[in-house]
Amino acid sequence: MGMDLSDLERLFDQARKLTGHTEYVVVGSLSILGAVRPKDVPARMLASIDVDCYTRTDPARIFEVSDALGEGSAFEARHGYYLDPVSPHVPTLPEHWDRRLLRIPMKHGIVAYFLDPDDAAVSKYARCEPRDREWIRAGLLAGLLSIANIERRIRDTVFLDAEERDRATRAFAEDRRVAELRPRPDRS
């Protein structure tokens, strides 16, 4: 089916043992796990095996665990997924994204913070890779992402440059049309 919170809990517990940190911020595709139960998430949104994250109070520390928990590690070989250390400054995100983080307490005193799904969508529009577009479209079609929120947040985003902004805006316009064409549930 894909990843779930117990997978992240296992990964963050190992990171805790290596770094002493107990707070992690998840910024990639798997940030959807902070907002929605896995059974309610389209498989395409849970297909990632890399957990893009950083240690909340000391972001650079996450890079220290790359050998033990990252791509190609024994952890990945055993569990089939891995930690992908990132800087909080790498993703393009809308203004005030950090105020909308979703806080999920876990075992062993671990707390995971997840990007709001609409903030994650803006970040994915900035990159605009095919797998990002698939994630967004799956979320839009499932009703897990808000067209109105994403549109507002794109306006509130400082993009890397005009090219990134234009690419994100064009992709959003295309996906908006697709989402508007999706059948609405019958509520009668």
| Tens digit of each residue's pLDDT (9 = 90 or more) over 24-80 | 999 999 999 999 888 889 999 999 999 999 999 999 999 999 999 999 999 999 999
Strand order in the sheet with 23-26: 82-85, 50-55, 23-26, 111-114, 102-105
Would you state the structure tokens that stand for residue 139, as one six-digit string? Answer: 């979320």
Residue that is written with structure tokens 């979320």 in the block: 139
* Within-domain flag for 29: yes
Give residue 116's identity as a one-letter amino acid code: D
Mean predicted confidence (pLDDT) in 15-26 = 97
- Domain identity same for 150 and 65: no
Containing 104, the helix (H) or strand (E) segment is strand 102-105
> What is the total count of domains within the chain?
2
Give the predicted TM-score (pTM) of the model: 0.92
- Domain identity same for 108 and 165: no
- Domain identity same for 100 and 124: no
* Within-domain flag for 188: no
Res. 184: pLDDT tops 70? no
Contact (CB, 8 A) for 50 and 82: yes
- Domain identity same for 30 and 61: yes
- Domain identity same for 48 and 97: yes
Strand-pair category, 82-85 with 111-114: unpaired
Those residues whose C-beta lies under 8 Å from the C-beta of residue 10, and which sit 6 or more positions away, are 79
102: confidence class by pLDDT, cuts 50, 70, 90: very high
Would you state the structure tokens that stand for residue 40, as one six-digit string? Answer: 């309610």
Sign of CA dihedral 71, 102, 58, 95: positive
- Confidence (pLDDT) at 181: 73
- Confidence (pLDDT) at 188: 44
Residue ending a domain, among 116, 131, 163, is 116
Q: Which domain holds residue 31?
A: 5-116
183: confidence class by pLDDT, cuts 50, 70, 90: low
Calculate helix-pair angle for 162-181, 117-127, nearest 10 degrees.
120
Q: What percent of the chain has pLDDT over 90?
A: 88
- Confidence (pLDDT) at 187: 42
Residue that is written with structure tokens 């909080």 in the block: 88
**DSSP conformational letter for 155:** H
Question: Among 19-28, 79-88, 175-184, whose mean pLDDT is lowest?
Answer: 175-184
pLDDT digits (tens, 9 = 90+) for 65-82: 999 999 999 999 999 999
- Domain identity same for 30 and 43: yes
SS3 state of residue 35: coil
Residue ending a domain, among 116, 144, 160, is 116
